Amino acid sequence: MKTGLFRTVFARDKRVKTGYFQLATYSYLLGGVVFTTMTNFAAYVLLTRMEGMAVPLRIFAMIGEVLFSAFLLYLGFGFANYNFYVKPMRAIAEAARRVADGDFTVRLDEGAQRDEYAVLAEDFNTMVRELAGMETMRTDFISNVSHELKSPLAVIQSSAMALAEETLSDAQREEHRKAILTATGRLSGLVTDILKLNRLENQEIFPESQTFSLDEQLRRCVVACADRWEEKELEPDIDLEEVEFTGDEGLLEIVWNNLLSNAVKFSNSGGVLGVSLRQDGELVRVTVRDTGCGMDPETQKRIFEKFYQGDTSHAAQGNGLGLALVKRVLDIVGGEISVTSTPGEGSAFTVTLTAK
């Protein structure tokens, strides 16, 4: 086992195929020592044979030879230092400055050799790509929030102005009143979901593990949305095994409520709302399926993005944050989610959890 100084000097990233910086440094150091030793030895032998030269001149010549050797050694180390350290560090510093100024297009040359600089450049480029993606998401988030806020606020404003008209009939007043209530409900839901997502993304949350009946929790969630699936005359197809699960009950409830809400929203009237629960060893799988409009492959790739709504015909019934919440919760509790869907036939979301 490498310990102490030996481990510190020779340890390197496993991705490094050639320790180029270390090899270059050691080569120049060894070469400098050999060069200085040989030249000094040669000068000593030469000067000791020059019997006619005065001792002070011999000493002066020896000192000059040593200084000349040191100068050449200095030039060699200076060249090595500039090419192997200063030049790459300047490139990294310049790239970092540009990133700090908001330029996320900058990239470092990773080179052909897998040395330390190439690995550093690779990590730097990965970091910049991630920052660019985050900046794009932030910009899109602000744009989408602004749009989602404007829509209900515009409805509230227009309906409020209409209610000020004295010539409106009672039916018209009731229609505008309902429009205001619907818009305020949507606005309230949007703010609530944004706050939930912000809390889940920016706070250090640790699941509060407790043992509970997962099948019973799913039944409660199905019953809680009964008014909505009964209104659409959906046929419930519930098939739940008895499963005792240890995890954060509150966070998982967010997952089930959002998946059920989406299944009801996208199902056609008279369709089927399916919920199944299966345990296979340590794996627990919950599937929520509908017989609605389904999704094409491109939509399936983006459904977990914030504010993304593949089916714009249902845009007024949601804000595109439900599945983003689901994904974030499952990241926290260590679960996974997958989707299978066929346009015109429906979708099935499967959540996989690990039983503890």
CATH number of the CATH domain containing 299:
3.30.565.10
pLDDT per residue of the chain (356 residues) written in tens, 0 to 9: 444 444 444 445 565 555 555 555 566 666 666 666 666 666 666 666 555 555 565 566 666 666 666 676 667 676 766 776 677 778 888 888 888 888 888 888 876 565 677 778 888 888 888 777 666 656 655 655 665 677 678 888 888 888 888 888 888 888 888 888 877 877 776 677 666 666 666 555 556 688 999 999 999 989 888 888 888 999 999 999 999 999 888 888 888 988 998 899 888 888 999 999 999 989 999 999 998 888 888 888 888 776 666 554 444 455 567 788 888 888 888 899 999 998 888 999 999 999 86
Residues 191 and 223 in one domain: no
Residues 71 and 189 in one domain: no
Residues 157 and 226 in one domain: no
95 lies in some domain:
yes
Residues 228 and 175 in one domain: no
| Rounded-to-10 torsion of CA 80, 81, 86, 88 | 40
Residues 247 and 328 in one domain: yes
Structural domains counted in the chain? 3
Alpha helices in 274-335 (DSSP H): 297-302, 322-333
Q: Locate 69 and state its tokens.
A: 């050797």
Residues 255 and 340 in one domain: yes
Residues 25 and 151 in one domain: no
136 lies in some domain:
no
**Which residue range forms the structural domain that includes residue 178?**
143-202
216 lies in some domain:
yes
* Integer Rg of the chain from CA: 35
Residues 235 and 151 in one domain: no
Residues 216 and 161 in one domain: no
Residues 66 and 43 in one domain: yes
195 lies in some domain:
yes
Instruction: Tell me which of 160, 184, 202 is where a domain ends.
Output: 202
Residues 188 and 223 in one domain: no
Cα(176)–Cα(178) distance, rounded to whole angstroms?
5
Instruction: Tell me which of 168, 186, 202 is where a domain ends.
Output: 202
The CATH number of the domain holding residue 158 is 1.10.287
Q: Scan for tokens 């994904």, then name that residue.
A: 327
285 lies in some domain:
yes
Instruction: Tell me which of 101, 118, 133 is where a domain ends.
Output: 101
119 lies in some domain:
no
Residues 343 and 225 in one domain: yes
Q: Strand 272-280 vs strand 283-290: parallel, antiparallel, or unpaired?
A: antiparallel
